[in-house]
Amino acid sequence: MNSIFKHTFVRFAIVGGAGFLVDLTCMLLLSFWLPHLVARGIAFWVAASSNWWWNRTITFTESKAQITSTNKKATALQWIQFLGSSAIAFVPNWGCYLVLMSQPPATPNSTLSLLWPYLAMIPGILIGMMLNYVFSRFWIFSPAKF
């Protein structure tokens, strides 16, 4: 079991799962006061910041050792780079969400239609995760960069 956790993609996916919960929770809470699309957009950025911190702490620990906590400028740059790559990955994520939201379930008063705004998040999140992993592994948290 420990050998599975040695792979950065597995740790990245676990962090992504936690980020999905942050994303979903934020969207649920915000959607009480805001339209679903606005709530979805804000929730994404909260989750992206959370994922940066967890990936820095858990997933890509070899690069964290090279950016010490005393180097606040490098840490802030890394966070900005992560948010930038998240913005790039957000495009297909958001696009997929918009397409699915434009095709709601056929039965408007069903449980599926009530859950649709939340279920429609999943495919875009999976696409975004693949893009974010590539950016994170080979650019943002790359040990060769330091």
Report the pLDDT value the prediction gives residue 66, as an integer from 0 to 100.
52
pTM listed for this prediction: 0.73
| Helix (H) or strand (E) run with residue 95 in it | helix 72-101
**DSSP structure string for 111-129:** HHHHHHHHHTHHHHHHHHH
C-alpha separations of 132 from 23, 43, 60, 136, 140 in Å: 15, 17, 13, 6, 10
Report the pLDDT value the prediction gives residue 95, as an integer from 0 to 100.
92
Q: How far apart are CA 98 and CA 92, in angstroms?
A: 10
Q: Which two tokens stand for residue 27?
A: 């969207």
Report the pLDDT value the prediction gives residue 96, as an integer from 0 to 100.
92
Contact 92, 128 (CB under 8 A): yes
Report the pLDDT value the prediction gives residue 23, as an integer from 0 to 100.
87
Contact 120, 26 (CB under 8 A): no
Report the pLDDT value the prediction gives residue 29, as an integer from 0 to 100.
94
Report the pLDDT value the prediction gives residue 70, as an integer from 0 to 100.
54
- Domain containing residue 84: 2-145
Report the pLDDT value the prediction gives residue 49, as an integer from 0 to 100.
93
Q: Which two tokens stand for residue 7?
A: 């792979």
Q: Can you list the residues of the chain whose pLDDT is less than 70?
A: 1-2, 62-70, 144-146
Report the pLDDT value the prediction gives residue 51, as an integer from 0 to 100.
94
Among candidate residues 117, 77, 78, the one with its CA nearest the CA of residue 100: 117
Looking at the 3D structure of the chain, how many domains does it have? Answer: 1
Contacts of 68 (CB under 8 A, 6+ apart): none
